[in-house]
Amino acid sequence: MTWVRGGGLTTLLFLLPLLFAFGAFSWYPIVRTVIMSLQHTNLVQPATWVGFKNFEQVWHDPLFPIAVKNTAYFAGLALLFGYPVPLVAAVLMSEVRKRRGIYSALAYLPVVIPPVVAVLLWKVFYDASSAGAFNTVLGWIHLGPYPWLQSQQWAMPSLVLESTWANAGATVIIYLAALTSVQTELYEAASVDGAGIVRKVWHITLPQLRGVLLVTMILQIIGTAQVFLEPYLFTSGGPANATLTVLLLIFNYAFGNSLGGDYGAATALSLMLAGFLAVFSLVYLRATRSWSTR
């Protein structure tokens, strides 16, 4: 196909929207981030080169270790709450014989709720007075009232709980799709050999899902490492910086000061986060390679 395989003007015309969108709003900003992280810029005066000063400044910021620790705590808790739940739910749902659609629709419903609504609604639920929605329900069984977002100790778990509610449904759907491709002959063979349901789950279902399981885990870690909306809207990073995350710190560097943003520090920290996630993903993929492609 001669006209098809050319590099002619027509082809370029078709590529124009893509080249413009990605050139202007993806590729160029990525390069620009690297440049800005090495500069001092405030949009008023011309930018000056400062080498790695921005990185040093972020590294020595007393808020930096707090933000890193909080983000790791959020990611860890989210893994603990949020990782096993969708898997168990999906395995149970895949064996539903009638009206399976209702299960998946209910599980996915929170995912379509705008995240701002989800957070602000849960903020109402988390009302710390004894007349708050959650405290009322827990009061029926003589628990609480709990301070939820107002306590340094409970604020982060509260954020993770809402975030798990908002996101778990999407993972359930991924697992359900993956479960349909499990080779069913293996189940039959195992049944013939006398394996029970639990053993079949452990020896057939989970190993067959391991590729998907590994991917959803790393994607969840990458996602939770960039948590922003929950700490921003629930607590603004408080109380006493207990929910200050890396992304919130980046946001505060760039946009938190009405006198002008510290764009150098913001881009430096975002590159540090991206670099960490890249290294982490590589190590993760290497470490799990033998297990995922057996």
Partner 1 sequence: MTDGEGSTGLISTAEWHKRSVRWGIGGLQALLLAALVVGGLGPILWLAKGAITPTIDTITHPMGLFEHGTAWSNLKEAWSTVHVGLYFWNTVVIAFGSWASQLLVATTGGFALSVLQPRYAKVINALLLTTLFVPAVVLLVPLYIEIVHPPLIHHSLIDSYWAVWLPAGASAFNVVLVKRFFDNLPREIFEAARIDGAGPFRLFRSIVLPMSKPILGVVSIFAVLASWKDFLWPLLVLTNPNEQPLSVRLPSIQAQTSLGVFLAAMFIACLVPIAGFLVFQRSFLRGGGLGGALKG
Q: Which of 66, 150, 277, 280 binds partner 1 (CB under 8 A)?
A: 277
Q: Which residues of the chain form beta strands (DSSP E)?
A: 39-40, 48-49
Longest dimension (CA), the chain: 78
In the stretch 207-226, what mask flags binding to partner 1 with x, by CB under 8 A?
----xx--xx--x--x---x
* Residues 171/148, Cβ–Cβ less than 8 Å: no
Residues 121-180, interacting with partner 1 (CB under 8 A) = 121-122, 124-125, 127, 131-133, 136-137, 165, 169-170, 173-178, 180
Which stretch in 49-57, 60-68, 112-120, 149-157 sits in contact with partner 1 by CB under 8 A?
112-120
Per CB under 8 A, 5 contacts partner 1: yes
* Residues 156/71, Cβ–Cβ less than 8 Å: no
Question: In sequence order, what are the residues at sequence separation of 6 or more whose Cβ sits closer than 8 angstroms to the Cβ of residue 195?
Answer: 203
- Whole-number Cα distances in Å, 97 to 89, 93, 101, 162: 15, 9, 10, 30
Per CB under 8 A, 231 contacts partner 1: no
Q: Which of 108, 146, 280, 284 binds partner 1 (CB under 8 A)?
A: 108
Which stretch in 56-64, 66-74, 148-156, 185-193 sits in contact with partner 1 by CB under 8 A?
185-193
> Measured from the CB atom, is 30 or 80 closer to partner 1?
30
The C-alpha angle with vertex 158 and arms to 173 and 231, in degrees rounded to 5, equals: 90
Q: Which of 66, 79, 229, 288 binds partner 1 (CB under 8 A)?
A: 229
Per CB under 8 A, 39 contacts partner 1: no
Output DSSP code: residue 61. Answer: -
